[in-house]
Amino acid sequence: MKALFINPSAPKTTFWSHKHALEFAGVKAQMPPLGLLTVAAMLPDTWTVRLVDMDVHPLTDEDLNWAEIAFIGGMCVQAKSMEEVIRRCRELKIRTCGGGAIYASLEHIARVDHLFLGEVEQLMPEFLDDLAAGHAKNIYRAETFPDLSLTPIPRWDLIDFSNYLTVPMQISRGCPYNCDFCHVRIIYGKKPRSKSVSRVLSELDSLYEHGWRGTVFFADDNFIGRRDLAKQILSAMISWQSTHGYPFHFIGQASVDVGDDPQLPQLLQQAGFEALFIGIESTVAASLSECNKKQNLDCNLFEVVRLLQEHSMEVLGGFIVGFDSDPPTIFDDLYRFIDEAALVSAMVGVLAAPYGTELFRRMVAENRLIRNLDGDSIANFSGMNVVPAMGWDRLLDGYKKLLAKLYEPAPYYQRALRFLSRYKINPWLPGGLPSPAELRIILRMLWGLGVKDSDRRSFWRFMAELLMKYPQLLPHGINIVLAGYHYRLISRRFIETEHDHASVEPLSDFSEPIFNNVR
Residues that bind ligand SF4 (CB under 6 A): 175, 177-179, 182, 184-185, 221-222, 255, 279
Looking at the Cβ atoms of 360 and 413, the one nearer to ligand SF4 is 360
CA 494 to mean position of chain CA atoms: 20
Give 495: exposed, middle or buried? Use CB within 10 Å, 0-12, 13-18, 19+.
middle
Looking at the Cβ atoms of 29 and 224, the one nearer to ligand SF4 is 224
- Give CA–CA dist 287/306, Å, rounded: 22
Looking at the Cβ atoms of 113 and 324, the one nearer to ligand SF4 is 324
Decide: 70 and 95 in contact? Cβ < 8 Å: yes
Q: How far is CA 346 from CA 16, 53, 83, 319, 415, in A?
A: 11, 28, 31, 7, 11
Nearest approach in angstroms of CB 179 to ligand SF4 is 3
Nearest approach in angstroms of CB 254 to ligand SF4 is 9
Looking at the Cβ atoms of 8 and 35, the one nearer to ligand SF4 is 35
DSSP codes, 328-380: TTHHHHHHHHHHHTT-SSEEEEE----TTSHHHHHHHHTT-B-S---HHHHHT
Nearest approach in angstroms of CB 222 to ligand SF4 is 5
What SS3 state is found at 215? strand
Nearest approach in angstroms of CB 298 to ligand SF4 is 13
- Give CA–CA dist 246/201, Å, rounded: 13
Nearest approach in angstroms of CB 229 to ligand SF4 is 16
Looking at the Cβ atoms of 7 and 172, the one nearer to ligand SF4 is 172
Looking at the Cβ atoms of 181 and 459, the one nearer to ligand SF4 is 181
Nearest approach in angstroms of CB 161 to ligand SF4 is 28
Looking at the Cβ atoms of 164 and 177, the one nearer to ligand SF4 is 177
Nearest approach in angstroms of CB 291 to ligand SF4 is 9
Task: Indicate the residue type of 188.
Answer: Y
- Give CA–CA dist 375/303, Å, rounded: 36
Decide: 360 and 353 in contact? Cβ < 8 Å: yes
Looking at the Cβ atoms of 154 and 279, the one nearer to ligand SF4 is 279
Mode of pairing for the β-strands spanning 172-173 and 193-194? antiparallel
Looking at the Cβ atoms of 184 and 216, the one nearer to ligand SF4 is 184
Nearest approach in angstroms of CB 185 to ligand SF4 is 6
Angle between helical axes of 456-469 and 409-422 (0-180°, round to 10): 10
Looking at the Cβ atoms of 108 and 294, the one nearer to ligand SF4 is 294
Q: Which of 231, 241, 219 is nearest to 262 (CA)?
A: 231
For residue 197, report the phi and psi dihedrals to the nearest 5 degrees. -60, -45
Report helix, strand and coil shares of the chain as percent, to nearest 5.
45, 15, 40
Nearest approach in angstroms of CB 182 to ligand SF4 is 3
Torsion of CA 505, 510, 512, 514, to 10 degrees: -110
Nearest approach in angstroms of CB 269 to ligand SF4 is 22
CA 100 to mean position of chain CA atoms: 15
